[in-house]
């Protein structure tokens, strides 16, 4: 019989690797099993189009990664992780050639919204600027996991965050500010009238001012590789190319931690219908481009931004998201785009660029949104199509194949809707625990939810540690 391990982690995405690192550095014997040949999950970098063009198949820009309490507590820089900041974190262009922007300066960002709304924007963020560390620790956690570090700001931020983004946007007079808020909230892949969508907008805005919206040097794979290197340094073992279909295929262990969807952990661990009520959300249609030059945005600010939101109005953004969640084909999509090669020369040959864009589509949608996406890009970057050397297209079925956690192409591994916004994957005192006493869940389906920040893995590791220590 092989010796019993303390913990086995299934899935080597950022959350699985973070959980493994947290457990291994506590002296536990840990092994990680990953179905693909390389680690990464939603943080990978691959040549999807042409040789020398290195794309991020999913996430590329990481405002919650650089500001993650879990990542800050690990020596990831020593393991190769280096952050690069574009001159502007975000640009949101408008048809007249202007743009709203997010920069490290609250004042500069406020002025881009116009004089009527600049003061409102400053006042909205004033209670929170300079307090990112305590806010991140308090809000990237399980709501009932002890007392908040900063109870006053936790309560104040919570009252703002619990609102729909559409209500938050009503504080502003002009369309620029309202569109900026709608675009930030749109990362939730839910209409801005949804519960707590204001919290998404506020967190992303605050992250831009406090930490920036950086890209990792060399691509998102650098995050996963740094985490994997740290796991190994702490004595953990990582095994790739091994798909786990049943719990009894794994070596004996005191705990099993799954960086998978609730559907997968229920199937593999024999939990029956434990997560039958869990809802998956809308999907995306993503295009990775190899370009012969930089995107020719009409708005000068967009040419200096790592991320560009293409809306342009709050009404268009809301209509696009409503279409996706209600099962309708995209007509005028809201686009989230990233241009990492503006600051990272390793991503493309000299003078060339990588660029990605995605719009929102219904779960499981099998159509082709290339035309509507590129028509939207041409509105704000005339001549864009002339720069395209190659494109790699991925709709919901392809996204689900790339990452088994993306059920129906849902890159958030769960709908951002109703009580599931805060009670993921279901109401439980310890949301990382399951009906099986030795089985735990650590994916984006658990608090605090989607994003490459490792906090779900961090909190799951704490739950495992407490269980093993009390056994």
Mean pLDDT of 157-161: 90
Question: In this model, does residue 420 exceed pLDDT 90?
Answer: no
As a whole-number percent, the residues of the chain with pLDDT over 90 amount to 88
What pLDDT shows up at residue 429? 86
Question: In this model, does residue 219 exceed pLDDT 90?
Answer: yes
What pLDDT shows up at residue 427? 85
Mean pLDDT of the chain: 94
What pLDDT shows up at residue 149? 81
pLDDT bin (cut points 50, 70, 90) of residue 255 is very high
What pLDDT shows up at residue 253? 97
What pLDDT shows up at residue 147? 76
pLDDT bin (cut points 50, 70, 90) of residue 135 is confident
Mean pLDDT of 402-422: 90
What pLDDT shows up at residue 168? 95
pLDDT bin (cut points 50, 70, 90) of residue 242 is very high
- Cα distances (Å, whole numbers) of residue 112 to 17, 211, 238, 305: 39, 19, 47, 14
Max CA separation in the chain (angstroms)? 72
Mean pLDDT of 231-236: 98
Using one digit for the tens of pLDDT, what is the confidence trace for 273-296?
999 999 999 999 999 999 999 999
Question: In this model, does residue 198 exceed pLDDT 80?
Answer: yes
Domain residue limits, the chain: 5-82+217-277+413-470
Mean pLDDT of 213-236: 98
Question: In this model, does residue 471 exceed pLDDT 60?
Answer: yes
What pLDDT shows up at residue 2? 62
Poorest-pLDDT segment among 43-52, 94-103, 169-178, 419-428: 419-428
pLDDT bin (cut points 50, 70, 90) of residue 144 is low
CATH number of 5-82+217-277+413-470: 3.50.50.60
């Amino acid at each position: 019989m092989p010796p019993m391990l303390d913990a086995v982690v299934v899935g080597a995405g950022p959350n699985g690797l973070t959980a493994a690192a947290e457990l291994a550095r506590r002296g536990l014997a840990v092994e990680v099993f990953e179905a693909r040949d390389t680690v990464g999950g939603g943080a990978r970098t691959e040549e999807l189009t042409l040789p020398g063009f290195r794309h991020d198949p999913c996430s590329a820009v990481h405002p919650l990664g650089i500001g993650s309490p879990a990542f800050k507590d690990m020596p990831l820089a020593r393991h190769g992780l280096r952050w690069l900041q574009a001159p502007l974190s975000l640009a949101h262009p408008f048809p007249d050639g202007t743009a709203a922007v997010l920069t490290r300066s609250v004042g500069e960002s406020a002025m881009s919204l116009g004089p009527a709304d600049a003061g409102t924007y400053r006042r909205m963020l004033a209670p929170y600027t300079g307090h990112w560390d305590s806010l991140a620790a308090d809000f990237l956690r399980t709501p009932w996991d002890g007392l908040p570090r900063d109870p006053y700001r936790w309560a104040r931020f919570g009252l703002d965050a619990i609102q729909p983004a559409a209500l938050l946007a009503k504080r502003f007079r002009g369309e620029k500010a309202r569109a900026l808020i709608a675009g930030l909230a749109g990362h939730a892949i839910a209409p801005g009238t949804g519960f707590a969508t204001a919290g998404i907008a506020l967190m992303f805005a605050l992250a831009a001012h406090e930490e920036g919206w950086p890209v990792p040097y060399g691509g998102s794979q650098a995050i996963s590789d740094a985490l994997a290197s740290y796991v190994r340094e702490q004595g953990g073992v990582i095994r790739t190319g091994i798909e786990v279909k049943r719990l009894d295929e794994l070596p004996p262990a005191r705990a099993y931690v799954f960086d998978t969807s609730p559907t997968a952990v229920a199937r593999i661990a024999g939990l029956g219908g434990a997560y039958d009520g869990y809802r998956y959300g809308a999907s995306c249609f993503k295009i990775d481009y190899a370009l012969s030059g930089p995107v020719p945005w009409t708005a000068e600010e967009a040419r200096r931004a790592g991320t560009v939101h293409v809306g342009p109005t709050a009404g268009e953004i809301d209509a696009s998201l409503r279409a996706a969640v209600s099962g309708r084909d995209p007509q005028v999509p809201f686009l989230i785009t990233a241009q990492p090669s503006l600051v990272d020369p390793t991503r493309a040959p000299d003078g060339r660029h990588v660029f990605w864009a995605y719009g929102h589509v219904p779960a499981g949608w099998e159509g082709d949104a290339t035309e509507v996406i590129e028509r939207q890009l041409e509105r704000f970057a005339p001549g864009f199509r002339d720069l395209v050397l190659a494109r790699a297209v991925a709709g919901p079925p392809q996204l689900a194949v790339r990452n088994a956690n993306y059920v129906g192409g849902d890159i958030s591994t769960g709908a951002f809707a109703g009580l599931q916004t805060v009670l993921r994957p279901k109401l439980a005192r310890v949301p990382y625990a399951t009906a099986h006493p030795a089985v735990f869940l650590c994916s984006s389906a658990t608090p605090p939810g989607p994003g490459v920040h490792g906090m779900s893995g961090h909190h799951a590791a704490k739950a495992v540690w407490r269980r093993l220590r009390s056994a």
